[in-house]
Structure formats: C-alpha cells, structure tokens
Amino acid sequence: MPSLEDNLISRQTFNTQELVAAHPPQFHHVNKQILFDYVCPKGCLHGGHLEITRWQAFDLPNQFRPADFHTALEAREGFFGYEPTPLDPPRVEWYLNFAHSNLFCAYGLGVFAQDEIQVAEHPALASLLEALPGAGIRPLTVENGVPTPILIMGAERRGAVATGRNEEAGRPRGLYGRQFALASPETILQSTTRIDPPTLTNLIAMEAPSYGRGAYTEEQIRFILTTAFTGFSAACSESRTTDKPSAEVVIHTGFWGCGAYGGNRVVMALLQLLAAQCSGVDRLVFHVPDPAGAEDLEAARHLLEEMLVGPAQKGRGISGLWQSVFKTSGKASSNSELTLSTAEFISGIEARGFMWGESDGN
C-alpha cells in the first residue's frame, strides 16, 4: 500500500460556514444562481468542515497476485443516491467526481453534466474552489500530464436535482448537459428538492483522458489505471485512520470518462475494477444507467476474470473465479500462487484493440 507521506501534495481543512461566508460562489448563469438560492436560502447555516487533499500519482505495482484481492463488486441501477452511511460497523463511502483537469471549472456556467450537478447539490464545493488560490492549493487533477487526484471529505449535500425527462415537470428533454441552461426558473425549482438537514459526502475528483481516436494506446491505458489506482489508494489511506484502522472503504463510481469525453465503457470499467482490487477497496459500487450499461459492466467483469486466470490456469475454467477473487465468501485458494505482471496486463488490453467512442456533446 502506498505511503501517505510520500504522495500527499497538500492538505487543508476549512470551517464550512466560514468558507461559504468568505468565498461566495461566482455564478455566470442565472439558473445556477436560482438553484443555489433555493438550496441555500438566506440565513442558512453550514455545518462541519471540508477537508481537501491533493495527491501525486502512485506508482503502479510491478505485479499483483489475484489471491490478495478482496474487493466486492456491486452493480447498482441508476445514478448516485448519496445515501447516509451507517456508523456501526464503521464504513467510509466515497463518490467519484468526473473531473476536468481544472477542478469544478464550469460550476458557475450553464452546463449541467456530472461534475456540475455534483457541485450544485453540494454548494460549498463552489466556495472551496474560490478559496483554494488563497490557501496555496492548485486546483488541478492533472498537472504536466500526470494525474493528481483531489479528495474532499465532509461536503454537505443540500439539494437533489431531478434531471431525467419528465413532460409534466416541464422537462421534456431533461435537465442534463446543455438542457439546464434552456430551462425556466420554474422548472429548475420544481425539479429540485432541498435536503434539510444536509447529508455529508466524500468525493474523489479525477480526470479521465478525453476525445481519443482509434484504438486505445498502452500510454492511455496506463494513465487511466494510474489515475484510478491513485484516487482509490488515497481514499483507502484517508479512510483507515488511527481511530478507524479497519473501516470498510466503499467507492461509488460509474462510466467515468464515457460521456462528453467519449471513453469506451468496457475499458473504463475494467481498469477501475482492477484499480479497486490493487488499492485494497472493500466494495466497489458501480452505478449503471440502463440495461446496456449493465451489459458493458458484465463484459468488463468477464474480461478481467479471463485475464486474471491467464494461460497458466487454462483448462481449470473461469466461471467461479470471480466469486473467489472478487469476494463473496473468501479469497481465492486454487490460484494462490498466480502472479501477474502489470505491464503484460496493460499490453494485453492494448492488444485487444478497444476503440474510443464518441462524445455525447455535453
């Protein structure tokens, strides 16, 4: 497991009420202001603290043993729900922010994709971004071509915005992406539920590669795996503290980088599954938006299972490997001596010729 001290670039804790008062969000589209004013009415108080950490990329392990893997995979239909986390036994849950290299850079604009929705529902994140220059923290999730994921703990979720298509609610084309800017104020308010008291969310902000063409290259695959491994490893380090050394670490993710950025769903799912295993995540909750998404996740799971078996295990069958390696009742036994090269694994993915998709325009 990578060392916290070796890879931590910066850490800062902010009192949330003081943060929002001193650094109000700067909106450039009226609908964002309307939404903020509704979920944070005049005189409302913000509780707790926001802690932000920024991380230098971890080196990938040279090799790994599937027998050491213990991550459970849960496929969950629908988008992030941010359900409250039970405290007994201790569990720390994290949600991905599908970030731009410049953290939350479009929060004040009229666009409304995953990143901007998350900030709108957790409005103190906008104030956090405004405060970072004065705190000496660079709001970059990629710097000089190297991933530098940012983790944020304790963000209050003060609203929930329904973005799906609903003719009766005034959303015939939904509110996602560029549709948000076209909506009336009445539609924005009708589609938003205030959360009071607010719940708390932990975030992993990391950027996927974007707008590729043709087949995925070895360099792109390594970048994706390194980014996810760094973000997930940092989350494990932040979760398993001295007072909670055995806390269960749960990460919620989805088809990261597969919307506006045009990523391949199978590739992006497969590499997140491996990163979760290598970083020691206890449970990976993979949110799928539709039956086609569930099929893509299953294809990624099956391919990873197949690649983990390797030529040395050919003939033993792979149907039960996922249940032994990806925990249901215990660790693998028949494959306890199997060791795989990370470089060869990456080359194996490249050799399959996975192709980039197309941007969804948002």
State residue 337's pLDDT score. 67
CA 228 to chain centre: 9
State residue 282's pLDDT score. 95
Query: Are the CB atoms for 53 and 234 separated by under 8 Å?
Result: yes
State residue 6's pLDDT score. 85
Tokens 């903020």 belong to: 36
pLDDT in tens, 277-305: 999 999 999 999 999 999 999 999 999 98
Tokens 């991933």 belong to: 147
State residue 242's pLDDT score. 67
Q: Give the residue extent of every domain in the chain.
A: 4-351
What CATH fold (topology level) applies to the domain 4-351? Leucine Aminopeptidase, subunit E; domain 1 (3.40.220)
State residue 201's pLDDT score. 97
E strand or H helix that includes residue 253: strand 248-253
The two three-digit tokens of residue 107, written as one number: 């929060």
Residue ranges, the chain, pLDDT below 70: 1-5, 87-88, 242, 310-337
The torsion angles phi and psi of 199, rounded to 5 degrees, stand at -95, 170
State residue 352's pLDDT score. 94
How far is it, in rounded angstroms, from Cα 177 to Cα 211?
Answer: 17
State residue 3's pLDDT score. 56
